[in-house]
Every structure is written in structure tokens, then in C-alpha cells.
């Protein structure tokens, strides 16, 4: 397992419903923990993110798992099947007056995770000169 810590800015596109419910600092601290496991035919990388300094950050964690597994393409060439799972883990319930934020935060987090996986795939393909 490896870990790293970095400063993370508040995204510019935070919905107004969140900005009106809570005050947001310019930056927070993120700690990321990475674990990679190698199976007979699969590489799995799990990242866990703990963010500090934001109003609801002590209530939730994000875990993202990426899986890379070889496959045979219809052309007979060897390819890779890539899958991603993202889970928002609620470690502590939000205060009653902020519970509505779950329905706003989780879709935003999942959408960012989908976008990040697209960026990862694009970068891998560009590095391999396949795209």
C-alpha cells in the first residue's frame, strides 16, 4: 500500500445548492491510499481517498477500484478489458439539515469518476500509440 497527500481546490462547478447550504474553503487536503494486487490474469488497483478541510468531508470516503484483464478481441488480437467501480462510503451520518446533500454529492462524485476513467483510458491509449 502506498499513500500520498496533496492540496485539492474546490471545483469551480460546485452546484449553487451546495454553496448556499455550506461555506467552502478555497482548498482542502486529500490523502490517497493506493493498493495494487496482481492475480493470474488480472491487475487490480484500489484507491481510497480521505479529504479534510471541507464541511462534509469527515462524513464520507471515496473508494475507486480499477481492473485490467487481458482479453481476445474479435480480430484475434490480444486486448485489455478495463472496468472501474466507485463507491462513496458514508462513515458518519450528515446532520439532519444537510442530509439532502447526499442526493447532490453522490451523482457529482460518480460523474467525476466516469470522466477520470475516460481520461485514464485516453492517456493509456496515447502512451501506447493506439489512439
Q: What percent of the chain has pLDDT over 70?
A: 92
Q: What is the pLDDT of residue 128?
A: 83
Nearest to 69 by CA among 95, 35, 45: 45
Q: What percent of the chain has pLDDT over 90?
A: 47
DSSP state of 67: E
Residue 98 neighbours by CB under 8 Å, 6+ apart: 21, 22, 55, 56
pLDDT tens sequence across 9-49? 877 776 666 666 677 777 889 999 999 999 999 999 999 99
Could you give the residue ranges of the DSSP H alpha helices within the chain?
A: 16-21, 102-127
Residue 51 has pLDDT above 80, yes or no: yes
Provide the grid cell at 119: 481520461
pLDDT tens sequence across 64-110? 999 999 999 999 988 999 999 999 999 999 888 888 888 888 888 88
Q: What is the CA radius of gyration of the chain?
A: 18
Dihedral over alpha carbons 109, 111, 113, 116 (to 10 degrees): -130
Dihedral over alpha carbons 59, 53, 88, 94 (to 10 degrees): 30
CB-CB contact of 53 with 28 (8 Å): yes
Amino acid at each position: 500500500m502506498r499513500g500520498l497527500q496533496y492540496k485539492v481546490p474546490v471545483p469551480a462547478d460546485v452546484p449553487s445548492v451546495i454553496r448556499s447550504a455550506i461555506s467552502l474553503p478555497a482548498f482542502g487536503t486529500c490523502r490517497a491510499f493506493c493498493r495494487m494486487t496482481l492475480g493470474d490474469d488480472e491487475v487490480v488497483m484500489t484507491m481510497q481517498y480521505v479529504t479534510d478541510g471541507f464541511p462534509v468531508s469527515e462524513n464520507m470516503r471515496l473508494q475507486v477500484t480499477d481492473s485490467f484483464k487481458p482479453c481476445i478481441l474479435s480480430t484475434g488480437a490480444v486486448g485489455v478489458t478495463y472496468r472501474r467501480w466507485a463507491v462513496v462510503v458514508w462513515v458518519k451520518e450528515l446532520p439532519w439539515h444537510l442530509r439532502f446533500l447526499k442526493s447532490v454529492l453522490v451523482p457529482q462524485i460518480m460523474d467525476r469518476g466516469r470522466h477520470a476513467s475516460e481520461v485514464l483510458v485516453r492517456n493509456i491509449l496515447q502512451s501506447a500509440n493506439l489512439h
